[in-house]
Structure 1
Amino acid sequence: MMPDYRIIADDLTGPEIAALLRLHLDEMHQWSPPESVHAMPIERLRQPDVTFFSAWDGERLAACGAIKHLADDHGEVKSMRADPDYRGKGAGKAILLRLLDEAAKRGYRRVSLETGRPEPFLPARRLYESHGFTECPPFADYTEDPFSICMTKTL
């Protein structure tokens, strides 16, 4: 049975979120060359154009994710990460659904994201595909990169 996650807007001050974002950045650098890592550091995620959410299973942090404002009709999913203990347990899905709900509330017509192409990113790509994301050309400041894949979803 999947936990019933409590999802909150997160101010990125807790030690649990800092640790999960450190893991996120470490894994991105493990799986991709530095020029292909587009994960935002915690300081950047605190900026006003980013809204950050965390999913909790009781007192345990299960996952996190953010939505970045690109334009009045376009948002970007950032910093999607499930704690290793919560991978495959619906935590990432819960965050993604919250981000899509936030995008719809803002009136975005499209939500896009960049993720990795190497095999460790396959579960994330499958999650995005299962929610209607399809591969697209690079958007915003992204460029063609053999380690990256850009995806988008029309709302």
Structure 2
Amino acid sequence: MKTMMQEISHETIETNSRGNNKMKKFTKILKNQKGLTLIELLAVIVILAIVAAIAVPSISGVIENSKYNAAKADAISVLNAAQLYYTDSPSAASGVTVATLKNEGYLETIGMIPDTATVASGTPKKLTTAAITYSGSKKITFTNSTIQSINVDTTKGSTSGDKTIN
């Protein structure tokens, strides 16, 4: 019995010393790790630069398209307000300005549409504006534009040149 206990305790001591050796090797390896190498860091920076170079131009196009569509939405709001105005005042003058629509409470805000823009009283109502800058140097002009002509316009705001909706 005594010899059996001695064997078990001897095996336990050997296992513990082997386990400790493995643990010492593992901690030594961990201590030798200093972090990313310069080449790894440069590779990450290059990948991020490539992703940014692809994403930035497409995002700016989306922003310009949104601003163009916002100008069109403002024009539709003005035309709807003019429809209400002419319904309430059938004997009104043949053209109402955006300033009048705002002052008389038919429009809460005018958005990008200038105060001097006019809406003709015929059917359908037609909006005429001066050139409106919607993004940088890009402009949109509404010339006798109806709600339908604005809605069927498929022009992208990010395309070059000034736009006119008739």
What is the TM-score when the length of structure 2 is the normalising length? 0.24
Q: Which has the higher helix share?
A: 2
Bigger CA radius of gyration: 2
If asked which structure has higher relative contact order (CA below 8 Å, sep 6+), I would say: 1
What is the TM-score when the length of structure 1 is the normalising length? 0.25
